[in-house]
Chains A and B, each alone.
Chain A
């Protein structure tokens, strides 16, 4: 997609979102749209990691948690300004990714994936057990909304604007990146790592950079999430969410700018569709397990039949 067309699309989306926020009253619809944006921001970086660095991160939920808890703790427990806390949270996500990425990116793909899994679970344990700071299993309450002067982002419509604003901004910046020297280097590494190295590209540093970007963007999503719900506890930040993010990226198409958004939208809408359709079948245990089964089967089906996801139908993985 050319830069010009992309800008038009983003602007059109911005106008659409502005309109929806102003006109739509349904808390349910707005909530879904907000979650699509948050998940899309979280999945954005992962899509780059999986598509360009060619690695799977099974612990991305940890960065979501880092973003949410750093923002939450700084604002709720220490009275920081929301934006300053957000900046620190995003930085924390990026820096943590750099720190753990540095050693683990020297591992091969499978072990790297398992290392990220281990990291994600360890972070979860810290969240549950470091009650003094994180509030333990009961979590953290009283997280204030973000505000610009007197304008507080404390309604669904305003959070819609904020979350989508951040998403569209991220996509714009990401689009710039993809068209630039760095983006070319990323695409080169994806095309042929040996040729990219021969052309002078430090492939290890590039992959690490993508991982850091992913950590930062997922942390951004987590921070917004904390301000949206005003309350966080460890349970959404476990392995299941990491897998959900992978599903979004696989479904939407890794390595594409829009893949995260498409995948996030597809997953969120799918979950909602399942929740409304399944009570129609009278079964003893409720809809939750069917959600799980459908996700599992969907993941398998996409990987086998359409590994490029929604953005590149038929493109083979190898």
Chain B
């Protein structure tokens, strides 16, 4: 039984002036998977993310989501199709509370326009209650209810990461792109994160992540794709990739165990 892939990357290529960041990459992500993109710095991982999420326009190739091409260079439209992402360096709205940050993730789930918001119509108030409840639920999922009222900038970095994940989850995405979610976390925080990602997958969201931390990636992912200098080096289950001699030479060989 071959199901259609959730995400299809076809011949994706990105050049910046003379520099080829992504040199024609193909891969798919199946629904319900946790897939990881790994590779040395500069391999093109975040660039691929940026092309999927609409931040960058590809020089060539395309991205299909649920069988249909994604809008190019329009991040909010890509988000509207059901793809959420986090960023390598956390981008929270510093002067808003943790809860409000997550509420921004609920933006598309609301409909109240300028007029009803200005007038605080009954429909708007009802919607606001519903959105707040949803934000609370998501905060519960990541375990941060206790932080809800704090300014986002005041929360420790590891938890800021989780707030960003919560904000992405609040969108109710079918695909979640996590860009270096483990960066800057200690061992305990990484375990908490891995458990969270498993819960996210169990709840029905497909996860594509980019990360450097081998322990996190190998234990968590169903499939791993190794990139080097913008090209696909290997793809497959973690155990197989780990044994691939090219991969070891290019990447794993430089890492301590």
Contact = CB atoms under 8 A, between A and B. Distances in A.
16 contacts: A174-B118, A176-B119, A180-B120, A181-B124, A183-B117, A190-B93, A191-B93, A197-B79, A198-B75, A199-B108, A199-B171, A200-B79, A200-B105, A201-B104, A202-B76, A203-B76
B107 interface: yes
Contacts of A254: none
Contacts of A194: 55, 75, 87, 91
Contacts of B167: 195, 199
Nearest to B108: A200
A195 B91 contact: yes
Given A176-B119, A176-B120, A200-B108, A213 B114 contact: yes
B18 interface: no
Given A177-B114, A199-B168, 18 more contacts: A174-B118, A176-B119, A180-B120, A181-B103, A181-B107, A181-B117, A181-B131, A184-B107, A185-B107, A187-B95, A192-B92, A195-B92, A195-B167, A198-B75, A198-B79, A199-B167, A200-B80, A201-B76
Contact of B96 (A187, A201, A213): A187
Interface in B109-127: 110, 112-114, 117-120, 124, 127
Interface string B144-181: 00000000000000000000000110010000000000
Nearest to A180: B117
A209 B118 CA distance: 13
A91 to B, nearest CB: 13
Nearest to A312: B95
Nearest to B96: A187
A317 interface: no
B14 interface: no
Contacts of A304: none
Is chain A's interface secondary structure helix, strand, loop, or mixed overall?
Answer: helix
Contacts of B79: 197-200
Nearest to B118: A173
B45 interface: no
A10 interface: no
Interface of A: 173-174, 176-177, 180-185, 187-188, 190-192, 194-203, 209, 213
A200 B119 CA distance: 24
B26 interface: no
- Top 8 closest A-B pairs, CB basis? A191-B93, A180-B117, A200-B79, A195-B91, A197-B75, A200-B108, A173-B118, A192-B91
B46 interface: no
A105 to B, nearest CB: 15
Contacts of B95: 187, 191
Nearest to A212: B114
Interface of B: 53-55, 75-76, 79-80, 84-85, 87, 91-96, 100, 103-105, 107-108, 110, 112-114, 117-120, 124, 127-128, 131, 167-168, 171
B96 A180 contact: no
A185 B101 CA distance: 10
B104 A188 contact: yes
Nearest to B81: A200
B93 A180 contact: no
B51 to A, nearest CB: 14
Contacts of B117: 176-177, 180-183
A213 B92 CA distance: 27
Nearest to A315: B95
A173 B119 contact: yes
Q: Which of A180, A192, A199 has the most CB of B within 10 A?
A: A199
Q: Which of B85, B87, B91, B94 has the most CB of A within 10 A?
A: B91
A180 B79 CA distance: 21
Contacts of B55: 194, 198
Given A192-B91, A194-B55, A194-B75, A199 B124 contact: no
Contacts of B76: 197-198, 200-203
A192 B120 contact: no
A210 to B, nearest CB: 10
Contact of A184 (B53, B85, B96, B118): B96
Contacts of A213: 114
A202 B54 CA distance: 13
A195 B54 CA distance: 12
Contacts of A187: 93, 95-96, 100
A203 B76 CA distance: 8
